[in-house]
Amino acid sequence: MKIGVLGAGQLGRMLALAGYPLANRFTFLDTTGHPSAGIGNVMIDTDQRHLESFLANVDLVTYEFEHLPVPLVQAIEAERPVYPSSEAIRICQNRAEEKALFDRLAIPTPAYRLVDSAEGLEAAARELGTPVVAKSVTEGYDGKGQAVLRDPADAADAWRSINHPRLIVESFVDFVREVSIIAVRGREGDVAFYPMAENIHVDGILRYSLAPMPDLDEAVQQRADGYIRALLDELDYVGVLTLELFQCADGSLLANEMAPRVHNSGHWTMDGAVTSQFENHLRAIQGLPLGETRARAPTCMVNVIGREPDPAAVLAIANAHLHRYDKSERAGRKLAHINLVADSHAELLDKVRACAALVPDAPAPEFSFEGTSGES
């Protein structure tokens, strides 16, 4: 099976690495002019002139990046199967569409308003009560295109700094922790759910993901499974879908956003689950049976951002797995991740601290369950 991937970053690279054992071949279509996949056949197409040769090289198409022109994906869809569909891209690339879908499926979200002026932003901040987070409705990632307003009077500055014609304004959630649920749906509608991960973000960028959580109530996992299943079924979705959530003190979950693809908070599955998110995405889109999603052991993913650690020092940690993306160092850039696997959560936390000491600029790893009796 010859697989076409829209986007050519590290997610595409890891899809290809998972697909070679299945005898898949990969052609990447990069629309940015800066591909980093470093693997497979990479076509740079910033002006949409190479679509025909891309299509001639592929049997089916998937993507690792959702900020793509919808008409381009629709044009591809007319020629080849695209999984997940262009409709998933259309919704997931726009926070207003995404929230409307959550509302329609009764998936709770932070209170929000849509605004298209600085005055509207100020009024929304007043109505919702500060603090609020304002986000551009399209194009955001890694916390870009966002501002926190502590006071409605911050609206003019926030509007200017985001510099986008339409914003979504959300109540700032006082969460206990950030979590995500990743699930995969096959072509026949079969679904498998990964154990939820706890995610630590600093300045809007993911730094740590840990799964399974030692103190997660089974009822909370089931609630998340229900939410993501509703999304998968509604979109008649094929492939891996990610839903980022805030977990509140009473155990309730508020949906933050979703991503129609493999996700950074699922990288732990490469070494910590029976089947990785990348392999399961490829199985799903090819109509193959889905693999088991169970965690093999407590696992933590540590992101490497901006500067790389000494690989030898990282690999000296027992059961540490280094995944480098073969990119050059640049502030804020995701360069690699490290998966740490342990027999217990206590041992895992020791490894995470040891690893954080090696990773340049790694923030202190502080998980919600530390010091609670939930540790096993």
Query: Given the rule CB under 5 A, which residues bind Mg ion?
Result: 244
**By CB under 6 A, residue 141 contacts ligand ATP:** yes
Give yes or no for a contact between 49 and 26, defined as CB atoms under 8 angstroms apart. Answer: no
Closest CA to 281 of 10, 86, 12, 15: 15
Bridge partners (DSSP) of residue 136 are 167
DSSP character string of 159-204: HHHH--S-EEEEEPP--SEEEEEEEEE-TTS-EEEPPPEEEEEETT
**By CB under 6 A, residue 108 contacts ligand ATP:** no
Q: Which does 173 bind (CB under 5 to 8 A by kind): Mg ion, ligand ATP, none?
A: ligand ATP
Site string for ligand ATP, 188-227 (x = CB under 6 A): -------------x--x-----------------------
Kindly state the smallest distance separating residue 242's Cβ from Mg ion, in Å. 9
Can you read off the two tokens belonging to residue 70?
């919808």
Kindly state the smallest distance separating residue 85's Cβ from ligand ATP, in Å. 20
HEC string for 18-54: HHHHHCCEEEEEECCCCCCCCCCEEEECCCCCCHHHH
Kindly state the smallest distance separating residue 144's Cβ from ligand ATP, in Å. 6
Residue 345 three-state SS:
helix
Among 98, 122, 170, 271, binds ligand ATP (CB under 6 A): 170
Which CB, 174 or 218, lies closer to ligand ATP?
174
Q: Can you say which residues are annotated as belonging to the binding site for ATP? A: 95, 135, 140-146, 170-173, 178, 201, 256-257
Which CB, 86 or 264, lies closer to Mg ion?
264
Kindly state the smallest distance separating residue 164's Cβ from ligand ATP, in Å. 13
Give the burial string for 312-348 (b: 16+ CB within 10 Å, else e).
Answer: eebeebebbbbbebebeeeeebbbbbbbbbbeebebb
Among 59, 97, 225, 257, binds ligand ATP (CB under 6 A): 257
**By CB under 6 A, residue 308 contacts ligand ATP:** no
**By CB under 6 A, residue 260 contacts ligand ATP:** no
**By CB under 6 A, residue 178 contacts ligand ATP:** yes
Q: Which does 261 bind (CB under 5 to 8 A by kind): ligand ATP, Mg ion, none?
A: none
d(CA 348, CA 211): 11
Q: Which range of residues in 85-93, 117-125, 133-141, 229-237 is near ligand ATP by CB under 6 A?
A: 133-141
The residues near 226 (Cβ < 8 Å, ≥ 6 apart) are none
Residue 13 three-state SS:
helix
**By CB under 6 A, residue 323 contacts ligand ATP:** no
d(CA 318, CA 340): 8
Kindly state the smallest distance separating residue 172's Cβ from ligand ATP, in Å. 4
Which CB, 4 or 239, lies closer to ligand ATP?
239
Within its chain, how far is the Cα of 5 from the centroid? Answer: 17
**By CB under 6 A, residue 340 contacts ligand ATP:** no
Radius of gyration of the CA atoms of the chain, in A: 20
Among 256, 275, 276, 280, binds ligand ATP (CB under 6 A): 256
Kindly state the smallest distance separating residue 106's Cβ from Mg ion, in Å. 21
Residues that bind ligand ATP (CB under 6 A): 110, 133, 135, 140-144, 170, 172-173, 178, 201, 204, 244, 256-257
